[in-house]
Amino acid sequence: MEFSGFFWAAVFWMAGWGVIGSIALKRRYLHRDLDTSNTSMVGAFTGAAAGPFALIPLWIKTPRLTTRYIVLPVIATVVVFGLFFAKGDPGNICVTNGTFVASQFVNGLVIGIIYGFMALGLTLIFSILGIVSFAHGEFYMIGGMITYFITSVWLPGINPMIGVLGACVATFTLGAIFERMFLTPMYEGKIDRPVEYGILVTFGLAFTLQYFVQATAGANPVKAQRFLSFPRMGLPSSEDPWLMKTSRGSMELFESVTISSPRLTAALTCIFVLLALLYLLHRTWTGKALRAVSLDREAAAIAGINPDRMNMLAFALGGMIAALAGSLLVQAFSWLPQVGAIPAMRSFVIVVLGGLGSLPGAFFGGIIVGLVEAAGTGCVPDPQKAASYIPAYGMIVLTLTLLLRPTGLLGRKYASATHGQN
Amino acid sequence: MSRQHIPTAAGAVFLLILGLFPFVYNGGDYDYVMHIIIIAFFYAILASSWSMLAGYAGQFSFGHMGFMGIGSYTTALLLHYIHFAPEPTSICTEFAIGGTYMIFVNPIGVTSTSLAQDCLRQAMDVWDGSVPVSDVPVWLGIVLGTIMGGVAGLLVGLLVLRLRAAYLALFTLGFAEILKATISAEIQITRGQAGLETPALFENGITLFGRVYSRTDKLPPYFVFFFLMLACLAVLWWLSRSKFGLFVRALREDQEAAAALGVNTTRYKVLVFVVTTSMAALAGAVQAHYVGIVTPNALFLLQMSLVVAMAVIGGVENFVAAAIGAILIQFVLELLRNSFTIGSVTIDMTIWRLVIFGIILMLTLRFTRNGLIAPIIEYFHRGHVAAETVAKRAAATDKDGVQG
Amino acid sequence: MINLKVTNLKKSFGGLEVLKGINFEINGPELIGLIGPNGAGKTTLTNILDGAIKPNSGTVYLNGERIDQYKPYQVALAGLGRTFQVTRSFRRMSVLENLYVPALAVGEEQNRAVVHEKAMEVLEFLTIDHLRNDYAQALSGGQQKLLELGRLLMLDPDVIILDEPFAGVHPKLMEVIYEYIRRVNDEGKAIVIISHQMDAIFNLAKRLLVLNYGDMIADGPPADVKNDPAVIEAYLGVDEEDEDELAGADQS
């Protein structure tokens, strides 16, 4: 299955008009002295979706670029790309098999929720401490490892809930201790370049943790038992289960979409914890204090909040969130000490896409990246290549974000990449 | 000898020892020890060029190993795919240049174990030795690898111009990851994890000081890396002493202020990327020929972590300290390789040494501002300055009140 | 002959007109104060002159060279230097290295010995030569202000814009900085001081430019400007504190 020349020509056409659109529109708006903050993105997507046909009216009329002008071209671009893809490779499974597409979509959504949840931890740390934790992937890895050891090695047969809780407690403690020991000098102005220090010291932590786990747990892949087995059943009846059919490890909806039990339990738990987290952030004093510190450190301190304590809490909580994601996924994937690298990269992509420091942004970003990866792995003809390129899909999203909308989808307050000193 | 000359003298002695070592040392593990030192030189080039990029110019790039990989893959692909012969093969893509034919070998991937399926092999079988086939010279591969690294550095430098701190680190890390993914995925061309084999630095041996060395002897590559390291350090020294060094440090401290004082910040930021990435690519290209094979494994984060840790422990704001740090850490890591047993527990030092290393990295960052080796150099260099300042300051305080 | 000519300079940010057609000219080594209530457009004007942002329309000529489309470093090389509201020394470079940067950037003299000598002269002039090998971050706030001035002297521009040069400076040191500004002015450089400290402005400047809501509402000697009804109204109508400043300047 080779892609036809038609497909590559179409991609070239879209990319070319995208570049032209983003540059031309920005110049036009600048020249007309209008708000240029969205022009690159709108121009790029309008150009990619409809080429000159939509760019020229936009160029002439220069309307105020409201959300409508952003969302519509993005959707149109995806649709147009899909059409070109279908035309270019009519035999592709993503074109011929609707069931497969639905299944990929649902699974992308499910895994995207988990990605978004993990990225939430990273963005929480960033919004309070102003640093990007390079140890996020290692927290994820350790969460999975601890859960595996508790449920399968030390106390086999125990309720997996205990394993998950154990991982949370351990990583929370680890995060708090690390923050006290290594990050405190940042706030006292003892470090010349706090942002770089934060990157390097968490990088050191990542390195240490990864090899510590390898030294103690070995380098062989492990996998935990699935936490939950579905009861065998069929809906509406077990004779004709067109609505839903379950086996022990997975469930099938509408005789087309298959979701495995580990993924479903992980995603549901993530949503549940996310709601709990939102409650914590918006309804409790501690959560309000956290948000206050993220908005204005000094003002929060004047209001009687101890920002140092909030730093510790944020770092520990952020690490714990990653660990929780790991401990939920250790039942779905096989686990190695190096397993954290790709999820860490993915979390970086998601937080930049969503807007560094924006919690809802991280969640939506996660879903987008989940869908993009599902499309990428499902539809690229050569499955082996498709799997190898997984990190690359995210990076393409990252590069586009940095070029077109450095503030991310929902990032406003937290400045942009270009002013990202804090 | 005054105090500020001590580091220079110590450095000279250190270099002299390294220069004489291959002739003096004659232990049974000669090749092994030589190999360790060669790799130490390799890391010294990477760590010192990274320290110029991160420590001097403040561009914390995590893609340095990516550029190294560009260097090694450029030369490996070039030597693998392009050959010359005086007669056409008629089955390969080929161009006539004067009397010789430039032959492009078709990619066959890793599916064929015999390596006999590409068009050139088939043609050579037909010729049966009657037509001499020549490769691209190794030095040309290395030069082109270096240039490619510099070009990639230029592009990345232009892309990240407006990115700061965390975003820069993320973007460059992502760049390295994409590169690794591409190399791993395009098995047809790069042979993926199987790797591309490369000819040795001196495929036909070399005669040095009246002695003939074969292609597997360690002494020639030892001196290649030794002088390469010295050359890189010399270039870095010259740059750091020239206005280039001054300007990149100024833009690390405050980009806008530097621009307001007439510094073309864009040019110097891109330039520092180009210079340091070509050094990384150069090291990578030479190393590809020394090791004899390139695989995407070299691009894994571990290697980047090592370079960062070496530079940071040595002292990221002093490229000499970073180079010394790299050499010493490489030695220490090798010495710590021996696993041992306490009671019934075997301590696998090949892994534990990296744990120790990581802890040292964190502690260095936490408790020293500029690594472990740079402060020592600084102590000798700036010691007299501090004393002088104290005296002058005491005198000035008596004189006027401008002491805010 | 120094000449800075600003003609019909306009700038707006997304519909908000910040500068509505500014005109003024500096001829020769003048000592000018630029004042105006908060939000008058002083910072925007400085940033346009400096090249950090581009105007929507209008021109800026420095000694006959059009500089309004230049990048900041080109503006600096063309002969316009500025300081920043918040002190922005190169903190982890020595005082001497701080001074080398502009001298080498201008590039007229690449001989290190000559540059060093010039830097030492500047440091002696500013009486901080004993700190020459210290990192800039070790200097006090006032000394850092002097260092910034020193860097500008090394850049050797024709026109110097000082953005709030007295902010955070110890009162004892104020007089010293006045003195340096006067002496630099005497050496033939045009200086524009932006400050909220009216007593300082009235003490130093021989000509005042007053900005209000993007308009240049007054331009003349301090004595005239002080009694200008438009100026009084601008300060009365906007900010009582500033009015007090005007009154305070009256007494001094």
Say if B305 is an interface residue toward chain A (CB within 8 Å). Answer: yes
Residues B210 and B124 occupy one common structural domain: no
* Closest C-alpha to A89, from A392, A383, A379: A379
Contact B171 A398 (CB under 8 A): yes
- The ipTM, to two decimals, is 0.86
Among the listed residues C89, C83, C84, the one whose alpha carbon sits nearest the alpha carbon of residue C184: C83
For residue B29, the domain's CATH number is: 1.10.3470
Give pLDDT, residue B400: 47
Average of per-residue pLDDT across C9-21: 83
Residue B347 lies in a domain: no
The amino acid occupying position C160 is I
On chain C, the residues whose CB falls within 8 A of the CB of B389 are 130-131, 133-134
Residues 18-57 of B with CB under 8 A from A: 54
Angle made by CA atoms A26, A29, A33, in degrees to the nearest 5: 135
- Is residue A1 predicted with pLDDT exceeding 70? no
Q: Answer yes or no: is B382 within a domain.
A: no
- In chain B, residues with a C-beta closer than 8 Å to the C-beta of C73 are 259-265
Angle at C36 between CA C35 and CA C40, to 5 degrees: 130
Contacts of B369 in chain A (CB under 8 A): 192
Under an 8 A CB cutoff, do A389 and B357 touch? no
Domain boundaries, chain A: 5-90, 97-227+259-404
B256 and B123: one domain?
A: no
Q: Which of C60, C30, C33, C72 is nearest to C194 (CA)?
A: C33
Instruction: Kindly give, in sequence order, each residue whose CB lies less than 8 Å from that of residue B254, ignoring residues fewer than 6 positions away.
Output: C88, C89, C90, C91
Q: How far apart are CA B346 and CA C151, in angstroms?
A: 62
Tell me, yes or no, whether B237 lies in a domain: yes
pTM greater than 0.90: no
Write out the H or E segment, with its range, that includes residue B208.
Answer: strand B206-208
CA angle A282–A284–A285, rounded 5-degree value: 110
Chains that touch C (3 or more CB pairs under 8 A): A, B
The string of pLDDT tens digits covering residues B145-173 is 999 999 999 999 988 887 777 788 888 88
Give A372-395 pLDDT, tens digit per residue: 888 888 777 777 777 777 777 887
- Determine, for residues A33 and C56 on separate chains, whether the beta-carbon distance falls below 8 Å: yes
Do B97 and B31 lie in a common domain?
A: no
- Count CB pairs under 8 A between chains B and C: 107
- Asked if residue B217 and residue B181 are part of one domain, the reply reads yes
pLDDT of residue A133 exceeding 60, the answer is yes
In the chain, the amino acid numbered B267 is R
Number of domains forming the structure of chain B: 2
Q: Is the peptide bond before A236 cis (omega within 30 degrees of 0)?
A: yes
Whether C14 shows a pLDDT value over 50: the answer reads: yes
* Alpha-carbon distance B156 to nearest alpha carbon in chain C (angstroms): 22
Pairing status of strand C190-194 against strand C159-163: parallel
Residue C88 · residue C110 · CB < 8 Å: no
CB < 8 Å to A352, chain B: 167, 170
Q: Which residue of A has its CA nearest to C12?
A: A33
Name the A residues in 177-236 with CB < 8 Å from any C CB: 192
Residues of C in contact with B265 (CB under 8 A): 73
Is CATH 1.20.1530 what the domain over A97-227+259-404 is classified as, yes or no? no
Residue C58 near residue C6, CB atoms below 8 Å: yes
In tens digits, chain B (404 residues) has pLDDT values of 577 788 888 888 888 888 888 888 887 888 888 999 999 999 999 999 999 999 899 888 988 999 999 999 999 999 888 888 888 877 788 888 877 888 888 777 766 555 566 777 778 777 877 788 888 888 999 999 999 999 999 999 988 887 777 788 888 888 888 888 888 888 878 887 878 888 888 877 777 777 777 777 888 899 999 999 999 999 999 999 888 999 999 988 888 899 999 899 999 999 999 999 999 999 999 999 999 888 887 666 778 888 998 999 998 888 999 999 999 999 888 888 877 777 777 777 778 888 888 999 999 988 887 888 888 888 887 766 666 666 666 665 554 444 43
> How many other C-beta atoms lie within 10 A of the C-beta of residue B246?
24
Question: Residues 6 or more apart from C33 whose CB is under 8 A from it?
Answer: C192, C193, C194, C195, C201, C202, C204, C205, C207, C208, C209, C222
- Do B63 and B99 belong together in one domain? no
Nearest CA in chain C to A36: C14
Q: State yes or no: cis peptide before A90, omega within 30 of 0.
A: no
β-strand partners of C57: C10
The answer to whether the CB of C51 falls within 8 A of the CB of C74 is yes
**Domain, as residue range, for B92:** 87-131
Distance between CA B322 and CA B279 in Å, rounded?
15
- Residue A132 in contact with residue A194, Cβ under 8 Å? no
Tell me the C-alpha to C-alpha distance, in Å, between residue A390 and each of A8, A328, A394.
20, 21, 7
Per-position b or e across A117-146, b if 16+ CB within 10 A of its CB: bbbbbbbbbbbbbbbbbbbbbbbbbbbbbb
Does residue B377 sit within a domain? no
- Residues of chain C above pLDDT 70, percent: 92
Confirm if C141 and B404 have CB atoms less than 8 A apart: yes
List of chain B residues whose C-beta atoms are within 8 Å of the C-beta of residue C88: 254, 256-257
Rounded-to-integer distance, Cα B162 and Cα A3, Å: 36
Measured between CB atoms, does C52 come within 8 Å of chain A? Answer: no
Model confidence over B288-342: pLDDT tens digits? 999 988 888 766 677 888 899 899 999 888 899 999 999 999 988 888 887 777 7
Which residue among B335, B357, B389 closes a domain?
A: B335
Q: Are B118 and B108 in contact (CB under 8 A)?
A: yes
Shortest Cα–Cα distance, A200 to chain C (Å): 19
- Do residues B24 and B121 share a domain? no
User: Of the candidates A211, A399, A417, which has its C-beta nearest B164's C-beta?
Assistant: A417
- Cα separation of C39 and A169, whole Å? 52
Distance CA C30, CA B256 (A): 26
Minimal CA separation from A400 to chain B, in Å: 11
Phi-psi group of A415: left, alpha or beta (phi > 0 → left; psi -120 to 50 → alpha; rest → beta): left
B403 touches chain C (CB under 8 A): yes
- Judge whether B182 lies within some domain: yes
